[in-house]
Amino acid sequence: MKCISAAALSKAYGDTRAVDRIDLNVEPGQAFGFLGSNGAGKSTTIKMLTTLIRPTSGSLNILGVDALREPLRVRRRIGVVLQQPSYEPTLSVERSLTKYGMMWGVPGDESRRRAERLMRDFGLADLRKKRNEDLSIGQRRRVQVAREFMHDMDLLFLDEPTVGLDPAARRELLDYLKEKAASGLTIFYTTHILSEADYLCDNIAIIQKGRILASDTPAALKKRLGRQKTITLRTNADDQTVATALAGIPDCVVQTGMGASITIESAKPEHILMEVLSRLRKNGIKMREISAEAATLEDIFLETIRDASGSETG
Amino acid sequence: MHPVLRLVNRNLTVSLNPGFLIWQVLFPLIYIFVVGFAYTSLIPGVTYNGEHVTYPAFLATGMIGFNIMNSTLVSGLIIWNDRRHGMFEQIMSGPYTRMQYVLANICTIGTVGMISAGLIVGVGYPVFQESAEFTIYTIPLIVFAAVTGSVLFGSLASIISTRLTSSEGFNVVINTTFIFLAFASTAFYPAEGAPEGLGAAFYFNPLTYIVDAIRAGIFGGITQAVFVEMAALSAIAATLFVVAAKMMTKVDL
C-alpha cells in the first residue's frame, strides 16, 4: 500500500490552474521531496494532500484512505508543519507543546515526557518558560516543528520548514528528520532549497506552474537529466598559446588570467576532453591539474525548469 | 476526551490568562464602586418595577450583562487570533472538523460568559443584596440570559472575525460595536429617563434584553414582557449562531 497515491489531481481558482493533473506516489518510509520555485504549486498541493482544501478534480488516497471521502480519518494519522508560522502567542514553549499533545489526545504524563524530549532535541530547553510571542522567528519555527512530534503519526508533511532557521538549526532539523525517516516515518517535504532535498530525500518530484516535470530518485534524476558535466584543466602554458591551440573545439572555453584554465561544459565532455588532450600534446603543453564536477540537483532543477519554459515558448 | 472538549480546554487556556481575568473583575469594579457611588449624588435612586433601587445596585446588576458582553466579545477574538497566528489552519489540519471548532468556540464563549457573570455577581452582591429577591425560578432565568447573551455576542464577534482581514479594520469594528452596544443599552441607565428616540434605540440592542432579564431575575418582577424579550433574544442568538457557523465553513485556508 502506498502512503500517498494521487492521480490527475487538480486545483483551479477560477480560470487559473494552480495544480494541473499531477500524479504522485509515495512509498511507506520514504522521504519524498517536492521541489518547485515560488508559486509553482507546492503549497496548494500540500493543502490538498493534507485535506485542507478540496481538489477540483482527481483522486487522492492517503494511507489507504480515500481522502476526498474521509478527510478526518486521514488527518488523524498525519502531521502537518505548515509554511506559515502557527503559534499560541501567550503560551510558553513548554505549555505550547503539552497543550498540543492534549489536543491530539496524548495522555498528560506521556505528553510531559514527550515535551521534555522534544525541548532537548530541538534545543528549546532553555526557552521552556518563554512565551511564544517573545521568541525569535527561528525559535518559534523550532517550536512549530517540534510540536508536531508530540503526537503519533504515519505520515508527516512539512512545507518549507527551514524558513527562518539558521544553518546550524537547519542541519539539525534535517538530521532529526533523517533519523525519523530511517525509523519508518514517511515524510513529504516541500522546499525550494535544493541542497536540503538532496540531503534528506530518497525520491524527488519537480513541480513548475502546477505540473510535475520530473520525478525519481536524486541519483536517477542526475543521471537522466544531468546532461551537463564540467571538466576543468589547468596548464603550464600562457593564455594565448592555449587559446590558439584549442581554437574551434565546441563547448570548450579557455579562461585567461592566472594561467590558462580550460573548462569543458558538455553532455559528453569525455569526447571533447580527448580532442583537447590531443591538441595540448601536439603543441607541447603540459597539464598541471584536472577536475571534474557532476551536475548538482540545483543544476538539474534549473535545467528542467528552463527546458519546460523553453518548450512552452518554443 | 471528546474533540470539542479538547478544543474548549485549549481555548480556555489561551483566553483565560491572569491579565484577562484581572481585567474582567477590575473593570466592572471601577464602574460599580467608583462610577456607581460617585453618581449617587446625581442619581439618588432608580425606580425599578415600582420599587426604589439605589444607583450602585442598579449599575451592579447592569454590569453583569455588560461583563458578559465584554468577555464574550473578547473570547470571540479566538477565531481572529487563530487566523492571525496560523492556528486555525493548524487545527483544521489536525483531527478536527470545522463544526467541532465552531461548537468549541461557542462552548468556550458560554463558559467565559458564565465565569464573568459569576465574578460580577460575587463582587457586586454586597451592593445589590438589599434589593435582591432571588427565588428558585429566577436563578435559571439569570443563567439562561447569561448563556444566551454569551452565544449572541460570541457569534457576533465570530462573524466580525471571519469577515475582516486587517487588524486596523477589525479593531475599529469591534470597538465601535462594543461602545455602541454598551452605552445604547439599559446597562448604565434606565430607558425611561433617556430622550424618546434614544430610549427607543435601547430596545434595538440585545444587551438591553439581557440586562433586563438579569435584573428581573435579581430584583424579582418577572413579567410577560421579560419572557417576550428572552424569546426575541434567543431567536437573535440562534440566528447569529447559524450565520457564524455558516461563515466559518467558508473561511479560506
Q: How far is B75 from chain A (nearest CA, A)?
A: 14
- Specify the range with the lowest mean pLDDT, choosing from A2-16, A82-96, B27-41: B27-41
Q: What's the mean pLDDT in A127-147?
A: 95
Residue A259 is predicted with a pLDDT of 63
A:B CB pairs within 8 Å: 61
Tally of domains in chain B: 1
Tell me: do A30 and A166 sit in the same domain.
yes
In this structure, are residues A186 and A154 in contact, taking their beta carbons and an 8 Å threshold? yes
Note whether A11 and A117 are same-domain residues.
Answer: yes
Helix (H) or strand (E) holding B220: none
What is the pLDDT at residue A301?
A: 75
Together in a domain, A188 and A102: yes
Q: What is the mean pLDDT of residues B47-55?
A: 84
Tell me if A82 and B90 make a contact (CB, 8 A cut-off).
yes
Q: What spatial distance separates the first Cα and last Cα of chain B, rounded to whole Å? A: 27
Within a domain: A304: no
Pair (A260, A210) in one structural domain: no
A244 in the same domain as A147:
no
Contact B95 A76 (CB under 8 A): yes
| CB distance A57 to A65 below 8 Å | no
Contact (Cβ atoms closer than 8 angstroms) between residue A191 and residue A163:
no
B85·A88 Cβ contact <8 A: yes
Supply the pLDDT for residue A44.
93
* Residue A44 near residue A53, CB atoms below 8 Å: yes
- Number of C-beta neighbours around residue A234 at 10 A: 16
Average pLDDT of B119-123? 84
Interface with A, mutate which of B15, B17, B90, B251 (most A CBs under 10 A): B90
3-class DSSP state of B153 = helix
Residue A130 falls within a domain, yes or no? yes
Average pLDDT, stretch B90-113? Answer: 88
- In single-letter form, the type of residue at position A51 comes to T
Percent of chain A's residues with pLDDT above 70: 92
Domain shared by A13 and A157, yes or no: yes
Q: Compute the nearest-CA separation of A36 from chain B (Å).
A: 21
pLDDT tens string A186-216: 999 998 888 888 899 999 999 988 999 888 8
Tell whether A149 and A171 lie within a shared domain: yes
Q: Nearest Cα to B116, choosing from B230, B26, B14, B219?
A: B26
Task: Spell out which residues of chain B touch residue A72, defining contact as CB-CB under 8 Å.
Answer: 95-97
pTM to 2 decimals?
0.80
| Partner B contacted by A72 (CB < 8 A) | yes
CA-CA distance, A52 to A47, in Å (whole number)?
5
C-alpha cell at A203: 525520491
Q: Domain check: are A23 and A64 in the same one?
A: yes
- Residue B247: closest CA among B111, B105, B150: B105
Q: Same domain, yes or no, for A18 and A89?
A: yes
Q: How far is B92 from chain A (nearest CA, A)?
A: 7
Per-residue pLDDT tens digits for A65-86: 999 999 999 999 999 999 999 9
Q: Which of A190, A216, A242 is the last residue of a domain?
A: A216
Specify whether A65 is located in the same domain as A149.
Answer: yes
Identify whether residues A35 and A103 lie together within a single domain: yes
DSSP string, A11-67: EEETTEEEEEEEEEEE-TT-EEEEE--TTSSHHHHHHHHTTSS--SEEEEEETTEET
Cross-strand pairs, B46: B53
Q: Any CB–CB contact under 8 A between A131 and chain B?
A: no
Span B64-82, pLDDT tens digits: 888 888 877 776 678 888 9
Check which CATH number belongs to the domain holding A154 and give it.
3.40.50.300
Q: What are phi and psi of A90, to 5 degrees?
A: -90, -5
**Which cell numbers in the block locate residue A37?**
520555485
Residue from B75, B85, B249, B251 to probe the interface with A (highest A Cβ count within 10 Å): B85
Is A190 domain-assigned? Answer: yes
Residue range of the domain that includes B206: 3-249
Q: B46 vs chain A: nearest CA distance in angstroms?
A: 43
Residue A262: which domain range? Answer: 228-293
Could you say which of A52, A72, A82 has the minimum Cβ distance to residue B95? A72
User: Where does chain A have alpha helices with state H?
Assistant: 42-49, 71-75, 93-103, 108-121, 137-148, 167-182, 194-200, 218-225, 239-245, 269-282, 297-313
CA distance B32 to B36: 5
- Mark which residues 226-245 of A lie under 8 Å from B by CB: none
* Cβ contact B86–A84 (<8 Å): yes
Cβ of B94 and A80 within 8 Å? yes
Degrees (nearest 5) of the Cα angle B101, B105, B226?
135
Record: contact A85-B85, CB cut-off 8 A: yes
B10, B89, B96 member nearest A102 (Cβ): B10
pLDDT score for A270: 74
Query: What pLDDT shows up at residue A138?
Result: 92
| Total domains, chain A | 2
Q: What percent of chain B has pLDDT over 90?
A: 19
* A7 or A223, greater pLDDT: A7
Least confident of A63-77, B136-150, B232-246: B136-150
Closest Cα to residue B109, out of B139, B157, B76?
B76
Residues A194 and A234 in one domain: no
Residue A307 lies in a domain: no
| Residues within 8 A of B (CB atoms), A 41-70 only | 47, 50-53
- Give the pLDDT score at A311: 63
CB spacing of B10 vs A91 below 8 angstroms: no
Q: Are B65 and B210 in contact (CB under 8 A)?
A: yes
Task: Give pLDDT tens digits for A52-68.
Answer: 999 999 999 999 999 99
Contact B89 A75 (CB under 8 A): no
Asked whether the beta carbons of B98 and B50 are under 8 A apart, the reply is: no
Nearest CA in chain B to A108: B1
Strands A203-208 and A31-35: parallel
Q: Is A114 on the interface with B (CB under 8 A)?
A: no
Which residues from A are below 8 Å from B9, CB to CB? Answer: 102
Q: Which residues of A touch B77 (CB under 8 A)?
A: none
Q: Which of B14, B93, B108 to mutate to test the interface with A (most CBs of A within 10 A)?
A: B93
The residues of B whose Cβ lies within 8 A of any Cβ of A are 1, 6-7, 9-10, 13-14, 17, 81, 85-87, 89-97, 253
* End position of a domain, from candidates A155, A187, A216: A216
* Smallest Cα distance from A288 to chain B, Å: 58
Cα A27 to Cα A63: distance, rounded to the nearest angstrom = 10
Alpha-carbon separation of residue A163 from A169, A173, A222 (angstroms) = 11, 12, 26
Task: Specify the CATH number for the domain of residue A279.
Answer: 3.30.70.250
- What's the grid cell of residue A299? 543544476
Among candidates A47, A80, A102 on the partner chain, residue whose Cβ is nearest the Cβ of B9: A102
The last residue of a domain, from among A163, A184, A216: A216
Residue A278, domain member (yes or no) = yes
Run of H or E residues at A124: none
